[in-house]
Amino acid sequence: MHRRMAVLAASVALACTATACGSGGDDDGKAAAGGIAGPGSGTGKTITVWYMDGDLSDAAVKAIGDRFTKDTGAQVKVQIQEWDGINTKITTALAQHDPPDVIELGNTAVPLFAAAGGLADITAHGKELSRGQTWLPGLAGPATIDGKLYGAPLFAGERAVVYNKKIWAKAGITAPPATLAEFTADLDKIGKSEKGADFSPFYMPGQYWFGGVQFVWDAGGQIAEKKDGKWAGALSSPQAQKGLADWKRFQNTYSTPASRNLFNLAPDYNAILAQGKTSAILNTSVNAVLKIDPKLKDDLGTFPFPGASGNQPVFLGGSDLAVPAKSANRALALAYLKAATDPQVQTSAIVGLDGWTPISTELIDRTAATRTPLLKAFSDAAKRSVATPASPGWATIESDKSLQSFFGDISTGKTPIDAAAKAFDAHLTQALNAAP
């Protein structure tokens, strides 16, 4: 979710302090640790909900609000927020005595505000909100800090392989690969079938860390681990080192040498696929490719990136809903989270109206039959996700572009893998343990 990364880059240092944010008020006579508002308890009341521009359609927002009103009798005042300067605006709102009651946050941004004391601890309501389902780790993980839950998942966005079926068919390949060995064998065939110095069987720019971390996780490695209350970079572990070596081998073999020190948007990898200069990319959707060349509509296919055992784990973008600690309508705010996470709402609105991936593995399976072939690969990929470190310092790692440089240095061979990992582990350890 590049917009969220840009927002973090602009205002990492603006997270409110615990003193400024404090703890919040209560509603309906309920204590902060009390229950979720029930039928009729909100009659005559209105809560304020902040959504980010462009994430949910008006129809999906209305569906959540209608369910909330049916459950509680309360009304909803929705305020759509622009991305530009949003962290500053959230910081200011959380410090005030009358913040909105519910805020949509990018999943990896939750620790930034939770650690500073700005969000309500909703751990006691986790089971009621999840309804026994398994929330996707990439959404729930960043919202869980030291075992405490500060946000409920809203929707997920993930990456899968987007490929040109005509180019693959020309190389004699008529079906997506099921294993990593089949995948690389297919790319080898495409490399022999297609000629041209600027052609890539698979365009994977070296600084594209979203792809790189999949190889680390697929090998059993982690970006960082928390022990005895402290974070430590973990890319020097044997498992992570294997994953990084696998990444370099894949990138160097199937993407062009010119791509080894590039990110995915300069040049735009969607244009590279649309122009026939590669047979496949790793992306969050097919829309950007089709915007460039709508005639490719019937030529594009998708499948989850195969791993050593099953699909590679993916980095999830997406959103969580959080309750400001100072909300005066805590019980009603929790009821709104309950409405948004309701399986029926997720199925009909999040998936049915907006085409996002729902928040649990159970809902992904339940809605599989309704997904188009192009969309199904993305939700299938989301079933195996890994959470980024639930530290406010992760905002620094995303915003300072050090992840891009780290993978770029490995892909280009500028720095040996072990030396690059050692140096980056030190940066991770410092950033993830920094006070908010």
Contact 351, 132 (CB under 8 A): no
Give the pLDDT score at 250: 98
Give the pLDDT score at 5: 45
What lies within 8 Å, CB to CB, of 73 at 6+ separation is 39, 40, 41, 42, 43, 44, 45
**Domains 2-156+316-377 and 160-314+390-432 alike in fold:** yes
Quote the DSSP letter at residue 314: B
d(CA 185, CA 192): 11
Helices (H), ranges, 98-208: 110-114, 126-130, 137-140, 165-170, 180-193
Name the residue ranges covered by the structural domains of the chain.
Answer: 2-156+316-377, 160-314+390-432
Q: pTM of the full predicted structure?
A: 0.91
Class of domain 2-156+316-377: alpha beta
Which tens digit of pLDDT belongs to each residue from 216-254?
999 999 999 999 999 999 999 999 999 999 999 999 999
d(CA 86, CA 11): 9
Give the pLDDT score at 303: 98
The low-confidence residues of the chain, meaning pLDDT below 50, are 1-3, 5-33
Give the pLDDT score at 51: 98
Q: Most distant CA pair in the chain: distance in Å?
A: 72
Q: How many Cα neighbours within 13 Å face the side chain of 64?
A: 30
The CA distances from residue 181 to 82, 150, 203, in Å, are 44, 40, 18
Give the pLDDT score at 17: 38
Residue identified by tokens 């049915």 is 352
Give the pLDDT score at 30: 39
What lies within 8 Å, CB to CB, of 294 at 6+ separation is none
Amino acid type, 8: L
**CATH, range 160-314+390-432:** 3.40.190.10
